[in-house]
């Protein structure tokens, strides 16, 4: 599912569920709090952000 940054900015404690290959760079950017990443900018003000991922998403 995809949502807009505006929607994410209204969520108090978002949970990202990541599955499938080819997401390693995006995950690394999110964990590094890269301000160029739209997902990070949308949730940087949240108190807590959870990241759930399957093994295949890391490689």
Q: Following DSSP, what letter does each residue of 16-32 receive, concatenated?
A: EEE-SSS-HHHHHHHHT
Q: What is the pLDDT of residue 39?
A: 84
- Give the model's confidence band at 5: pLDDT under 50 very low, under 70 low, under 90 confident, else very high: confident
Which of these, 43, 51, 54, lies nearest to 10 by C-alpha position?
43
Percent of the chain with pLDDT over 90: 22
Phi, psi of 42 (to 5 degrees): -70, -30
Q: What are phi and psi of 43, to 5 degrees?
A: -115, 0
pLDDT of residue 20: 81
37: pLDDT strictly greater than 80: yes
């Amino acid at each position: 599912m995809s949502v807009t940054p505006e929607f994410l900015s209204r969520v108090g404690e978002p949970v990202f569920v990541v599955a499938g290959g080819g997401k390693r760079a995006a995950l690394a950017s999110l964990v590094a709090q890269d301000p160029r990443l739209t997902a990070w900018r949308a949730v940087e003000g949240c108190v807590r952000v959870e990241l759930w991922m399957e093994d295949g998403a890391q490689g």
